Amino acid sequence: MSINKKAILNNICYTELVYGRINKKLNINFSKKQIEEFIFKIIKETEEKYFSKIGKNFYVTNTKNNIKITINSNNFRVITVDRIKR
């Protein structure tokens, strides 16, 4: 099964709670707009071979930025963003 990166970029969305979760987990203090631009940029620059689908979620692993983004595959909602443990 191939993952449609373009569909993810075109449909990505957020809940109010996820903004705070992203700031907390990444230890940053970005505005909603900054978070959306940051996540979009990471997904756009990540090669599709680093996208995976496990269960109902997509996982986008970007080693350059040391980040893993979890996205619901049904509604393209960002669930969380984690630092990759080295």
Q: What is the tens place of the pLDDT at every residue in 47-80? A: 999 999 999 999 999 999 999 999 999 999 999 9
* Percent of the chain at pLDDT exceeding 70: 98
Domain assignments of the chain as residue spans, ordered by start: 5-49+57-83
Query: pLDDT at position 5, please?
Result: 95
Classify 63 as helix, strand or coil: coil
* Confidence band, pLDDT 50/70/90 cuts, at residue 2: confident
> Which pLDDT does position 1 carry in this prediction?
57
pTM of the predicted model, to two decimals?
Answer: 0.94
- Residue 21 clears pLDDT 80, i.e. is over it: yes
